[in-house]
Structure 1
C-alpha cells in the first residue's frame, strides 16, 4: 500500500509525468486473488476499496484453478504450488497490461525481500551470479509466448497513426537540425530528412530493422524486422525497509495489508528464513547489511563481466553476418585473445597470459551465450557452466597451454538447440550458427493459427467463376501473432473459413510446393534456398500449411497443404486473394550488429594506408561524413550532429 500511496501523490503533484518515456495520466492497481485461502476474496475486495480511496483505479484478477480441479487435483496440496501460482500470476498480470496498453508494471518489493532472497540463495549454494538478488528492472517473466507482453509489440505500436511510444525528436531539436541544414546544398531535401526522423505520418525505422548487401545473382530478400517492446517490471522500493514503508502508511492514514500465510514457517522456505531472522541474532556475516553489500558486489561484478564480453564482440567484429529470414549467424572468433608479437616477446608474458586464462574462459562463455541468443529456439539460455565444452571447441587456445595448436580440425556440434558448423572457406575460426536439426524423438514444433467460421471448408474452394471470393466474405483483422519454435512471430489474416498451422518446411512438402509455383518463381526459390538457407537449414524454416479436416472418416489424419514460406516471402499463386501472412524475428541484441557493421564500413572506406586528414571546417566535415555514409550503405541515413 505504500507504493500505491506514493503513486497517488506523484500523479497529483506532477500531472503528465513521463515514466519510462511514456506519459502517465493515471495508475491502475492490479490485485491478484490466488483463490488458495478462504479469506483471499474478501481481502482482495478490501484492498481494492483502499486503492479507490487513494484515487487510483483498481482491478481484481482471479486465478482460475478449474482445470486442475477437473482432474481431481487440489491446488493447495500440490508440492510445487508456489511456482505454479507464480507462473499463473505473471501471465494474469501480463494479459492485464496488454489489455490496458501499459508497458510498465511496478512491484512493491522492499529491502527485506531482497535480504531474504539473497540469504535463501546463499544457503542453497548459489555462486555470485545467483547472489545478485531481485533486479531493479527486467522484462516480465513467464509470458514468453504472449505477443505484446514479452519483448514484442513495438512494431505494431509504431505502425499506428498515433503510436503510444514516440521516437520523434523534440521540436527544439528539429529546429536546430533545420538551421544546420538550411545552407547545406549538398544535403538531401528536408522532406526526405523529415521522413527519416519520423516527423511525418510515415512509420519510422527503429532498432531491429536490418539491411544487407545486394547480390545481383540472387533475388533480394527483405530482412525480417526484429520484435521489441513488451512489459517491463520496475521495483522502485528496493532501497527501503519494510518498517519504513509501514511507518509511511501509518503517518498518512493508509491501511497496511499483509498475507497471513507469510508468518507460517512450515509453508515456504522464505517464511522459515523470515522467522529465523526475527527470532535469532545471526552472525554478522549473515545480517542484513552484510548480505545487501554482498548482493551489490555481485551485481557490480556481473555487470562488468557482461559489459566486457559485449565490448569484445563489438571491438573484434565477431559477428560477420546475421540473417533473420533463415535465423543464421556467421561469426569469426580468430581475433579474440590473440597476443601480438610484441606481447609474446615481453618477459613473463606467457606466465601472465596463463594467469588470465581462467578469466578469459569466463568472458568467452558469456560472449558465447550472447551469440547463442540470436539463434536458439529455447526460451531460457543455458547456464555458463554448461558452455565450457563449447568454449574448448571454439577457443582451443584457452583450453591448454598458451600457443598450443589443436590437433584435429574443428568439427560441428550443437548446444541449446543451435548447430555450430565450421566454415573452412573463410578460416579455421569461422562458424555458422543455425537451428539444430529436429530430433526424431521429439515432436516437431507447431503453432495453430485458426481462421473463423467452420474449419471443414477448403481454403481453395472457389465461388461462382472461381476467380474471386464471394462478396459475402470479408477480410478479418490480423490474428494475434504466435511464437513458433522460439524464434519467429507469425500471424495471418484470412477472408475464408480455414484453419492454418505453422510447421517446419517438411521435405515431403517440398516437391509439391515447387511444382505449384510458376517456372520463374521456382527458379527464384532455388536460388534463395541455396544462398540464404543452404543444406539442412532450409528444413528449419517455418512453413504455413492449410489444414483440411476429413469429411467422413473421423480417425483419418488431416490433410496438410504447404501454402507459403513466410520468412522467404514465397507462396503459391493466388494466395493473396484469400489470406495474408506476416513474419518477424524474435527480440535480439541489435547493438552487437549495428556497431560491428559501422566499423566494417569505416574500414572499407578508409583502408589501412589512408593519408592523414587535414583540418576542415565543421560544415565540410559534416558533408564528408554524409557522403561516406551514403557511399557505404547504399541508402542515405541522417547524420548525427552534435
Structure 2
C-alpha cells in the first residue's frame, strides 16, 4: 500500500498524544500489571492495538503486557475466519490474542431474538469481563473515539437527556453488563475495614469489604475517526469493515452517524459543537464532584455493614453550598446502603435541598421532617434526642422485592451478589470422594415467620441472645437482613416445605452444623457440615478520621458449643486496627 508522506509525518504526533492520554488515565495509581484490549478488527480497535504496540516498543517494554480479546459472535458464517485473521494481526503487533466464542445455546436461534444487538453486546462484555478476571486484568481498553462521543451526545439530546447526561461517554467506568459477576463487578480484591489493606484474613469475626473489579478505559475519546484511519493507513494496518454500521436503516446510531458524516445537521448539532458542549459539561461535573468529595471527606459518617445502616451528622456548613454539590453529596451517601447500582441525580435533586435547606435573612427554611424513600433507601431525619444524626437504611422490602431478591446459592464456593449489597457464598464440607447434594440453600430477606420459628425452637437463653442480635437492626429494619434457608433435596428436587433458617450471615449466627467459612482454617470442624461466608459490596468509605466502619461480627456460639444455649456478645463499636508487632 502506498502512503503519502503527509500521513507518515502526522502519525507520530498521534502516537505521542495517545501516550499522553493513556498515562493520564493511571497518573494516580500507576500503570496496572496487565492491560486488556477489546479488539473487533475494525479500524478503531486496530488503531488502538497499533498505538498500544507502538507505545510499548517506544518505552522499551516498560508498559504493561497486552492481551487482545477478540469476540467471535458466531452470527455470520465467516465470523470464525475473521476472528482468526484479527488474531494474526495482533500477533504481528506482538500482542497476545485471545479469541472468545459466544455461547448462544441458552437463547436457541440467536437470529430470532428480539433486540439482538443489545443481547450480543451484553454477552460480549460478559465474556471479555470474565476473561479479564481469569487473566488478572483490571483495566480494559476500548476504542470509542470523538465521533462516537458526538453521536452519543446527539442520541442523548434526542432522548431528552439533560444536565450531566450531556457530558457524553465517560473515560472510565465499570462494565455495566457484568453486574453481579464476581471479580469483575467491583469485587475480587477484598479489604479489611480495620486496616484498609487488601487482604483475606482468617478473622471470622470481621466482615470484609469487596474492592477491585474491571474498568473500561477509553483513551481515544479526543481522537477523531479520521485520525485513526490516518494512523492505520500510515502503519499499513489492515482492518475489517462491518458494512451494517454504515446503513442508516439498522439503528438510531447508524442514522445519526449518516447525518453527521454528510454534515446535513444544523451547525449547533454538528460534531465539533457537540464535543465542545460535552467538554464543558464534564468540566462542570468534575468541579461539582470535587466539591462534593471535600464535603463527604469532612462529614461524620458511620456505616454498620452488618446491618447495612449508615448515619451521618448534620452540619451547617453544607447549607451554604450549591444544590448540585448537595445532590452529588447525597448520591455518595446513598451509595453506602442502596441496593441499586445507579442513583440518578434527577431523583435526588429535590431531596438534597430538603436535607440541608438554605437560610435567607437569618431564617432557616424547613427541611425534611419525616422519613423519605429514594433509590430504595429510607432517609430518616434526626429525632428529638438524635443530636443531628441522620439515618439511612435499605428500604423495607416490598412483596415484589421479597420475590425478586430470592436466589439459590451455588454449592461450588461461588460468590453471588444478593440485593446489590452482600456477596455471599457457601460450600459443603468434603467427605470421602464427594457426596450428593442433599440441601437446596437459598438467601432471601428475613421474615417475621423466620423469627417466630427460631424463637419457638429455642430455649430461654437462646431467645435472649437472638433478641440481642436482632436489636442491632431495630423495628422493621431487621427485615432487610439476609437469611439462609435450607430445604431437603430428594432426587435433585427440593422438598415442598418452607425450609429452615440455618444462618443469619450478616449477624454472624449459624444453626448447628453450620459455620462461618475461614480462609485460614487449617482444619475443618467435624461437627460442621456446611460453611457460609459474607462480604459487603464495594463502598467509597475507609475507616479512620471522621469516617467509621462497623464490621465486627458478633461472637455467637450455637447450642452444640454450650449446653445451656448459645450466647452473643454484640460489639457496637468499630474494629480497631490490629496491633503491630
**Band of TM-score, shorter chain:** 0.7 to 0.9
* Aligned counterpart, 1:5: 50
* Aligned counterpart, 2:311: 330
Structure 1 runs not aligned, ≥5 long: 19-23, 160-195, 197-203, 211-219, 340-358, 452-477, 599-631
Alignment partners' CA distance in 2, 1:574 and 1:67: 37
* Aligned counterpart, 2:363: 403
Q: After superposition, where does 1:259-274 map in structure 2 within 5 Å?
A: 259-274=242-257
Kindly indicate whether residue 560 of structure 2 is the aligned counterpart of residue 560 of structure 1. no
* Aligned counterpart, 2:406: 446
Alignment partners' CA distance in 2, 1:221 and 1:55: 46
What TM-score, normalized to structure 1? 0.69
Answer whether contact 2:318 2:356 (CA < 8 A) is retained: no
Kindly indicate whether residue 352 of structure 2 is the aligned counterpart of residue 391 of structure 1. yes
Alignment partners' CA distance in 1, 2:473 and 2:162: 40
* Aligned counterpart, 1:527: 468
* TM-fit CA distance, 1:515: 5.7
* TM-fit CA distance, 1:533: 1.1
* TM-fit CA distance, 1:502: 0.9
Across the two proteins, how many residue pairs are aligned to each other?
Answer: 488
Alignment partners' CA distance in 1, 2:200 and 2:468: 24
> Aligned to 1:509, which of 440, 450, 457?
450
* Aligned counterpart, 2:558: none
Answer whether contact 1:208 1:227 (CA < 8 A) is retained: no
Answer whether contact 1:33 1:60 (CA < 8 A) is retained: yes
Alignment partners' CA distance in 2, 1:418 and 1:282: 43
Answer whether contact 2:311 2:391 (CA < 8 A) is retained: yes
Structure 2 runs not aligned, ≥5 long: 1-45, 430-434, 516-527, 549-573
Deviations 1:349-383 (A, max 9, x none): xxxxxxxxxx73332222111111111112322x2
**Alpha-carbon spacing, 1:63–1:570, altered in 2? closer, same or farther (3 Å):** same
Worse overlay, 502-511 or 440-449: 440-449
Alignment partners' CA distance in 2, 1:304 and 1:637: 39
**Alpha-carbon spacing, 1:27–1:307, altered in 2? closer, same or farther (3 Å):** same
> Aligned to 1:485, which of 419, 423, 435?
419
Answer whether contact 1:513 1:563 (CA < 8 A) is retained: no
Kindly indicate whether residue 453 of structure 2 is the aligned counterpart of residue 499 of structure 1. no
Answer whether contact 2:488 2:494 (CA < 8 A) is retained: no
Alignment partners' CA distance in 1, 2:213 and 2:268: 39
* TM-fit CA distance, 1:73: 7.0
Alignment partners' CA distance in 2, 1:136 and 1:571: 45
* TM-fit CA distance, 1:258: 2.3
Kindly indicate whether residue 168 of structure 2 is the aligned counterpart of residue 133 of structure 1. yes
Alignment partners' CA distance in 1, 2:198 and 2:102: 36
Answer whether contact 2:70 2:87 (CA < 8 A) is retained: yes
**Alpha-carbon spacing, 1:574–1:14, altered in 2? closer, same or farther (3 Å):** same
Alignment partners' CA distance in 2, 1:132 and 1:335: 31
The CA RMSD measured in Å over matched residues stands at 3.4
**Alpha-carbon spacing, 1:140–1:485, altered in 2? closer, same or farther (3 Å):** same
* Aligned counterpart, 2:290: 307
* Aligned counterpart, 2:26: none
* TM-fit CA distance, 1:8: 3.0
Q: After superposition, where does 1:177-256 map in structure 2 within 5 Å?
A: 205-206=196-197, 222-256=205-239
Kindly indicate whether residue 540 of structure 2 is the aligned counterpart of residue 589 of structure 1. yes
Deviations 1:583-602 (A, max 9, x none): 110111115x644239xxxx
* Aligned counterpart, 1:379: 341
Deviations 1:443-492 (A, max 9, x none): 431221133xxxxxxxxxxxxxxxxxxxxxxxxxx611000111000111
Answer whether contact 2:382 2:389 (CA < 8 A) is retained: yes
Classify the secondary structure of the residue corresponding to 2:327. helix
> Aligned to 1:360, which of 303, 314, 322?
322
Answer whether contact 2:354 2:368 (CA < 8 A) is retained: no
Classify the secondary structure of the residue corresponding to 2:249. coil
* Aligned counterpart, 2:81: 42
Worse overlay, 121-130 or 540-549: 121-130
Classify the secondary structure of the residue corresponding to 2:182. coil
Answer whether contact 1:549 1:558 (CA < 8 A) is retained: no
**Alpha-carbon spacing, 1:31–1:558, altered in 2? closer, same or farther (3 Å):** farther
* TM-fit CA distance, 1:404: 4.4
Classify the secondary structure of the residue corresponding to 1:95. helix
Alignment partners' CA distance in 2, 1:516 and 1:99: 45
* Aligned counterpart, 1:544: 484
Answer whether contact 2:487 2:494 (CA < 8 A) is retained: no
